[in-house]
Structure 1
């Protein structure tokens, strides 16, 4: 079984993926726009308005070895990511700091990067799209 994150960016999907490409080295593995749908929708999903044909219907991208999926959804407004964080494990303190700072560009630091009892580096940041990230370089387990 595999559990994957599916992020709905409400009209900012392509912008978000480009940000993750630059900040985290994300690699796009697939992107389809609503206009490329082989079975075009007459109306929007769940009774909503028809989506912008140029918006992203579905995308897949990899950050490191992890595959994430994303969409513009119906593009109905500001995306909201509540009650969930993505955790990013870095191989060194320097890399943790670099990744944290890249995600913080235009975002909001929720917990500054610092040493903790469980990590030589740990911090929490909400990126410019509102996605919450925990960046960690964990201490070795005893």
Structure 2
């Protein structure tokens, strides 16, 4: 086995918007490659066939599915961020929450003195904790 890479399937042509948002929000992150559908399809022209992006050195793949599925993302699989400062966790939580949904508001839950869990506007689930 060469590697293990988390894979995100977006619907409604939002993969590139999501990648751009994530890489702008998290330092040391970048979009590494994007392949797009052309006029010949089968997906809508310009949407993502496959892309690779990195968040703090962790690679992720994503696509825009041209097939409509009856499922979306589930919070039972989430991206877990360990933040260095209270300012960082507060900022990231606030930005990810915009047009999203709080699953656990930032608070001291005993296992972490500052923790929050949110589904972002794209449906992706994020857990944020403050490093001890």
Task: Tell me the TM-score range normalised by the shorter chain.
Answer: 0.7 to 0.9
Structure 1: distance between partners of 2:105 and 2:71: 24
**Do 1:122 and 1:136's aligned partners in 2 also have CA atoms closer than 8 Å?**
yes
Task: Tell me which residue corresponds to 2:79.
Answer: 86
Task: Tell me which residue corresponds to 2:128.
Answer: 135
Say whether residues 1:7 and 2:11 are aligned partners: no
After TM superposition, give the deviation of residue 34 of structure 1 in Å: 2.0
Say whether residues 1:118 and 2:120 are aligned partners: no
Q: 2:68 aligns with which of 72, 76, 83?
A: 76
Structure 1: distance between partners of 2:26 and 2:95: 8
**Do 2:23 and 2:54's aligned partners in 1 also have CA atoms closer than 8 Å?**
no
Which of structures 1 and 2 has the bigger CA Rg?
1
Q: Secondary structure at the match of 1:54?
A: coil
Structure 2: distance between partners of 1:75 and 1:27: 27
Please list every run of at least 4 consecutive aligned residues from structure 1 whose deviation after the TM superposition is greater than 6 angstroms.
Answer: none
Q: 1:19 aligns with which of 8, 18, 21?
A: 21
- TM norm structure 1: 0.79
Q: Secondary structure at the match of 2:114?
A: strand
Mean alpha-carbon deviation: is it higher for 82-91 or for 15-24? 15-24
After TM superposition, give the deviation of residue 78 of structure 1 in Å: 8.3
- TM norm structure 2: 0.84
Aligned length: 128
Unmatched tracts of structure 2, length 5 or more: none
Unmatched tracts of structure 1, length 5 or more: 42-49
Structure 2: distance between partners of 1:78 and 1:88: 28
After TM superposition, give the deviation of residue 31 of structure 1 in Å: 0.7
